[in-house]
Amino acid sequence: MIQQLEQTDHKLKLCVFDRNVLPGSCVWTITSELIEKRCKRMVVVISDEYLDSDACDFQTKFALSLCPGKSLSW
């Protein structure tokens, strides 16, 4: 899925945790900084793993908190 999304005409740049996050800091700090400083949009792929993940819950809520009046696209 990553390869398909990155190789579209939309020129998407994905932040993939295992690929783009360097070890050595608090995961929550790194994640929030990446979302706040580098993300223009957030794509959420709903899966069983997503629904069970505290990290995914945090990331989604944090991203939504940055622009509380923004509408969601479903």
pLDDT of residue 67: 81
Pull the structure tokens for residue 64: 């939504």
Q: How many domains in the chain?
A: 1
Contact criterion met (CB below 8 Å) for 57 and 44: no
Is 32 within the bounds of a domain? Answer: yes
User: What DSSP element (H or E) covers 56?
Assistant: helix 54-66
Chain centroid to CA 40: how far?
10
For residues 62 and 10, which has the higher predicted lDDT (pLDDT)?
A: 62
Using CA atoms, how far residue 21 sits from 11, 16, 29, in Å, is: 20, 8, 11
pLDDT of residue 12: 82
Is 74 within the bounds of a domain? Answer: no
Q: Using pLDDT thresholds of 50, 70 and 90, give the confidence band for residue 72.
A: low
For the stretch 15-67, pLDDT in tens is: 777 777 777 778 888 888 888 988 888 888 899 999 999 989 999 999 989 88
pLDDT of residue 74: 57
Report d(CA 48, CA 59) in Å as an integer: 16
Q: Which domain covers residue 23, as residue numbers?
A: 1-61
Is 68 within the bounds of a domain? Answer: no
Is 4 within the bounds of a domain? Answer: yes
Is 67 within the bounds of a domain? Answer: no
Is 71 within the bounds of a domain? Answer: no
Is 35 within the bounds of a domain? Answer: yes
